Structure 1
Amino acid sequence: MICIETQHFNLNRTLLLAIGLWPYQKSKLVQFQTILFFSILISFVIFQLTAFITTICTVDFIIETFSTALVFNFYVIIYNMFWINTHHVRNLLEQLQYICNELRDKNELAIIKKYGYYTRRFTAIFTLLGICTIFFLILLPIWPHVFGTLLHINKSRIENQAIQITNEYFIDQEKYFYLILLHKNAVFCIGITTLTATGTTLLGCVIHICGMFKIASYRIEEAMSTKMLKNINLKNQTMIYKKIFYAVEIHRKTIKFTDMLISSFEGSFLLLIMFFVISLSLNTFAVFRNASLGNKEVFLFHLLYVFTIYLDMFLYNYAGQEITNYSNHVYFTAYNVRWYLAPLGVQKMILFILQNGSKTFHLNIAGLFVISIECFATLIKASMSYFTFMYSVQQ
């Protein structure tokens, strides 16, 4: 028997526990932790927007502020997405466990274990990438202080160089510099951990969906194998019926599970797509703007933002494309087997799969976006169009 929580999502569980979003064992201490972390994230966005109260609003200032505020707003949206949908996350994991519990064939167990290994491996890779990003963002503001001590550079000049994100705390920022820096570092740690934990959990669900489609293909191939079709007696005919029935059943459950995954987070996904396009446009503009002005530290920040947005957009759309590809593979498997040699009843069951597979299965967000590589290209094209417009107006 496979335990999804401990065998496939063990690292995801640790990451979600660290930020208070694991859907099980919600004690009062965990609830306090969740409220505290969410407050830290949203307060950072608010303190960026309050800068409009005390600063003269030029076009450069507006773009600079919104380009960073929208990036940190991703953390708020994603954290809130898992927080308010805790029961949906729990239902998804339980449904996945239920499907795995029904697997009895050793080859089917081997398939799902293989995709569970993929889940652990990708989670480990993105966790390592997240840790490296956290260290980079924490150490970047400190380097000017280190060099300032060694080279005897003016302290106020160092602090102005170190603070790259526009905030308004309504306090003396030089006096409380390290307290403000602590707030920023806490946001980086919580935000990137949130992005990693939630993203890899959703990615793990997608990987298991691909594994279940693979099992459906395997069951069809086994039912229609040459050995079965050579001697169609009553025993073999009953066996073929059962295997085709189980193939149809897991195919149906996989589609139902996928629809549940999308419907649980549909509103948040739609909001994220909108912010992805706007934020990518603004940060791409900020990269070119700061590169031309020679602001190296700010340039690095925005370049990191652009890379992160590109990576997230690509991964989400690539995951949707993979689900479509695996769903199509079930259709091609049913089409390519020698179904015409099977009994009439089996042919009708295979026809059911062919009819379902004749219409390509997509991850559809609110009827507006079909998650795929083509969608990724469309979003990039849209964001580059907005960037080109801003750049031409600025010139």
Structure 2
Amino acid sequence: MLCLTKIISNNIEDNRNYYYDVSKKFLWMVGQWPYQKPKTRLSFFALLVTTLIICIITQTAHIFLCKDSECIFETLPAHLLMWNSLVKVCTYQFNSQKIKNLTDHLFVDWDILETREEREIMKKYAESGRWSSLIYAWYYYVSTVSFIMTSLIPPIMDILFPLNISRPIILAYPAHYFINEEQYFYYIFCHMLMTGVICMTGLIAHDCMFFTYIEHVCGLFTVVGFRFEQILYKRNIAKRKLIDYPDDVYNKNIAFSVHSYRRALQFAELIEKVYSISFAIQLTLATIGLSVTLLQIAQLHNLMDTTKYFVYIFAQLFHLFCFSFQGQKLIDHSLQICYKIYNSAWYEIPVKGQKLLLITMRKSTKASTVTACKIYVYSLQSFTTVLQTAMSYFTVLASFSE
């Protein structure tokens, strides 16, 4: 019996490592994994921040060299992206203890699961978080490399279809490196490719861990709803079979489910505390970046540049949509508790148990949300609002640039 328990425990531990390995590896690479050695964390974090600062400096230098607004607008999208990545990285650094608490929940919450059905529910959501992270990471790495590789098109065209003069070089994004760009083009290209991948890793690590947290808390809400359904279902079965169970048994089960619900709410609230301020800054930068990118597409007449900015704008929209989708998922799952209790045979359980359910129903009528400083709620409806706002800013900028 002891051996069987140990085998089951090892299997659960393996499942946890499997489901969270993607987020763990990304956080480890940027020095944000809570269980890393302090020296390792500091080294990786210092490398990432140094890389981001170098990119920001070169882009800022280019902005100071600009002589018109068109040049500034051309530099802003990539510049804002670097600031956005820096904000994401600093979010975990300044909330390291809260991140550790959240990560502890990921592993500890599996221990309170009682039945095989509950474990299957958590596995489903953990698997969803893992695949979301993989798809998100794959998309952004492909987009980043594709965006930077466009700068190699002119040299390749010079080799395949040479002209009397060399085609002008085009950097992946506007930046000033304080050296002769034509002479050291390939060195600059390698630097941009390397720094782009490193900076994008910081962004992906932040976002993938957020997806993992949201999927986990949605799984907790689903498990709580399942427990309430099972309690009432067992009551009905016992009644049909004329089995007399003491009311205290049901009251204890309901109290345990209420405790699990409170634990899920605390997890959701901790997510809100960690990301709220950071999301406000990120949303502002993303909205401005989206507007400026639309302006660039409207003004460009070069097919290659237009294609490059289309890749960039789709990446921005994908980023906003993923966050809005996860926010909507949290809202829907937090509200489902009330509906599951209401649609069950709650009137057949003891009065004391009904009072506990009533308290839970009242609490569950208020959705758990992820917000930007309590002002903007991440949801699919809000996603359309951001698009409308970005289009409004784009119209204003376009009128000024004419």
TM-score (norm 2): 0.90
Structure 1 stretches of 5 or more lacking a match? none
What corresponds to 1:24 in structure 2? 35
User: Would you say 1:309 and 2:321 are equivalent positions?
Assistant: no
Contact preservation (8 Å) 2:218, 2:330: yes
What corresponds to 1:324 in structure 2? 331
User: Would you say 1:210 and 2:218 are equivalent positions?
Assistant: yes
Segment of structure 1 superposing worse, 305-314 or 227-236? 227-236
Segment of structure 1 superposing worse, 328-337 or 363-372? 363-372
Of 26, 36, 41 in structure 1, the residue corresponding to residue 47 of structure 2 is 36
Contact preservation (8 Å) 1:156, 1:174: no
What corresponds to 1:127 in structure 2? 137
What corresponds to 1:168 in structure 2? 176
What corresponds to 2:361 in structure 1? 354
Aligned in 2, Cα 1:333/1:169: closer, same or farther, shift over 3 Å? same
What corresponds to 1:221 in structure 2? 229
What corresponds to 2:191 in structure 1? 183
Q: How far has the Cα of 1:201 moved from its partner? A: 1.3
User: Would you say 1:266 and 2:273 are equivalent positions?
Assistant: no
- Paired-residue identity, %: 23
CA distance in 2, matches of 1:134, 1:70: 15
Structure 2 stretches of 5 or more lacking a match? 1-8
Q: How far has the Cα of 1:126 moved from its partner? A: 2.0
1:198-244 Cα shifts (integer Å, max 9, x gaps): 21111011011111110011001001112145468663533322321
CA distance in 2, matches of 1:67, 1:359: 37
Residue 141 of structure 2 aligns to a residue in which SS?
helix
Aligned in 2, Cα 1:36/1:154: closer, same or farther, shift over 3 Å? farther
What corresponds to 2:207 in structure 1? 199
Q: How far has the Cα of 1:6 moved from its partner? A: 0.8
What corresponds to 1:244 in structure 2? 254
Q: How far has the Cα of 1:156 moved from its partner? A: 5.3
Aligned in 2, Cα 1:227/1:258: closer, same or farther, shift over 3 Å? same
What corresponds to 1:10 in structure 2? 21
Of 378, 381, 391 in structure 1, the residue corresponding to residue 388 of structure 2 is 381
Of 56, 63, 74 in structure 2, the residue corresponding to residue 45 of structure 1 is 56
Residue 163 of structure 1 aligns to a residue in which SS?
coil
Given residue 40 of structure 1, which amino acid in structure 2 is its aligned partner?
A: T
Q: How far has the Cα of 1:143 moved from its partner? A: 2.7
CA distance in 2, matches of 1:74, 1:205: 20
1:125-165 Cα shifts (integer Å, max 9, x gaps): 22322332243134322232122122224675342xx3142
Segment of structure 1 superposing worse, 135-144 or 372-381? 135-144
Of 125, 146, 156 in structure 1, the residue corresponding to residue 156 of structure 2 is 146
Given residue 54 of structure 1, which amino acid in structure 2 is its aligned partner?
A: L
Contact preservation (8 Å) 2:294, 2:394: yes
Contact preservation (8 Å) 1:316, 1:371: yes
The alignment's C-alpha RMSD in Å is 2.1
State the 4+ residue runs in structure 1 displaced beyond 6 angstroms.
Answer: none
Given residue 333 of structure 2, which amino acid in structure 1 is its aligned partner?
A: Y
Contact preservation (8 Å) 1:285, 1:390: yes
1:5-37 Cα shifts (integer Å, max 9, x gaps): 512111221222233332222342442232122
What corresponds to 1:295 in structure 2? 302
Contact preservation (8 Å) 2:56, 2:83: yes
Aligned in 2, Cα 1:156/1:28: closer, same or farther, shift over 3 Å? farther
Segment of structure 1 superposing worse, 315-324 or 355-364? 355-364
Contact preservation (8 Å) 1:67, 1:286: no
Given residue 361 of structure 2, which amino acid in structure 1 is its aligned partner?
A: L
Residue 141 of structure 1 aligns to a residue in which SS?
helix
Residue 235 of structure 1 aligns to a residue in which SS?
coil
Tell me how many residue pairs correspond in the alignment: 389
CA distance in 1, matches of 2:135, 2:240: 47
Contact preservation (8 Å) 2:271, 2:370: no
Contact preservation (8 Å) 1:221, 1:333: yes
